[in-house]
């Protein structure tokens, strides 16, 4: 995977963590019945699903290769 692919994965992970942190802040400020908490967590779940599907697609097309099993003898 090229540098651009790695950068996109890292940026997606940062966006997921940012959404999770903003949901925590909204939960503390607004209380548990805030729509902003639900929206932030929905965005986080959506980004996580997109990242998961993108990684699965990249593995299936051969763009990236998973590491071998750590306990496998060579």
Task: Sketch the domain layout of the chain as residue ranges.
Answer: 32-62
- Residue reference for tokens 């209380």: 31
Q: Please tell me the distance from the alpha carbon of residue 21 to that of residue 41, in angstroms, as a whole number.
A: 10
Q: What is the pTM of this model?
A: 0.75
Q: Which two tokens stand for residue 68?
A: 């071998």
- Residue reference for tokens 């590491």: 67
User: What's the pLDDT score for residue 22?
Assistant: 92
The 10s digit of each residue's pLDDT in 32-50 is: 677 888 898 999 999 999 9
What average pLDDT does the segment 54-70 reach? 78
Q: Which two tokens stand for residue 38?
A: 């639900």
């Amino acid at each position: 995977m090229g540098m651009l692919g790695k950068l996109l994965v890292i940026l997606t992970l940062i966006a997921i963590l940012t959404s999770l942190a903003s949901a925590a802040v909204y939960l503390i400020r607004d209380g548990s019945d805030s729509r902003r908490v639900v929206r932030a967590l929905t965005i986080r779940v959506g980004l996580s699903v997109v990242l998961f599907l993108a990684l699965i697609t990249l593995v299936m097309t051969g763009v990236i290769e998973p590491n071998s099993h750590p306990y496998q003898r060579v």
